[in-house]
Amino acid sequence: MNQDLSIVTLLLHASFVVQLVVLLLVIVSIASWAAIIRKYFSLRRTRDLNDDFERDFWSGTSLNELFASAAQNAKLAGPMERIFASGMREYQKLRERHIADAVTLMDGARRAMRASFQRELDAAEQNLSFLATVGSVSPYVGLFGTVWGIMHAFTGLASLTQVTLSTVAPGIAEALVATAIGLFAAIPAVVAYNRFAREIDKIAISLETYIEEFSNILQRNLAAVGGAPAAAATATSTSSGH
pLDDT for the residue 240: 43
Residue 25 lies in a domain: yes
pLDDT for the residue 27: 95
The CA distance from 59 to 73, in Å, is: 19
Total domain count, the chain: 1
Would you say 28 and 155 are in contact if contact means Cβ atoms under 8 Å apart?
Answer: no
pLDDT for the residue 156: 64
Residue 1 lies in a domain: no
Is residue 23 left, alpha or beta, with left meaning phi > 0 and alpha meaning psi from -120 to 50? alpha
pLDDT for the residue 177: 83
pLDDT for the residue 209: 94
Residue 88 lies in a domain: yes
Is residue 146 left, alpha or beta, with left meaning phi > 0 and alpha meaning psi from -120 to 50? alpha
AA letter at 132: A
Whole-model pTM: value is 0.80
Question: What's the number of CA atoms in the CB half-sphere (13 Å) around residue 78?
Answer: 21
Residue 133 lies in a domain: yes
pLDDT for the residue 35: 95
pLDDT tens series, the chain, 242 aa:
445 556 666 667 667 888 888 899 999 999 999 999 999 999 999 999 999 999 999 988 888 889 888 888 878 889 999 999 999 999 889 888 887 788 888 899 999 999 999 999 999 998 899 999 999 999 999 998 888 878 777 776 666 566 565 666 666 777 788 888 999 999 999 999 999 999 999 999 999 999 999 999 888 877 765 544 444 455 554 444 45
Residue 130 lies in a domain: yes
Would you say 148 and 22 are in contact if contact means Cβ atoms under 8 Å apart?
Answer: no
Residue 2 lies in a domain: no
pLDDT for the residue 223: 73
Residue 222 lies in a domain: yes
* Backbone angles phi and psi of 213, in degrees to 5: -65, -45
Fill in the DSSP letter of residue 161: S
- Its domain, for residue 143, covers 7-238
The CA distance from 206 to 203, in Å, is: 5
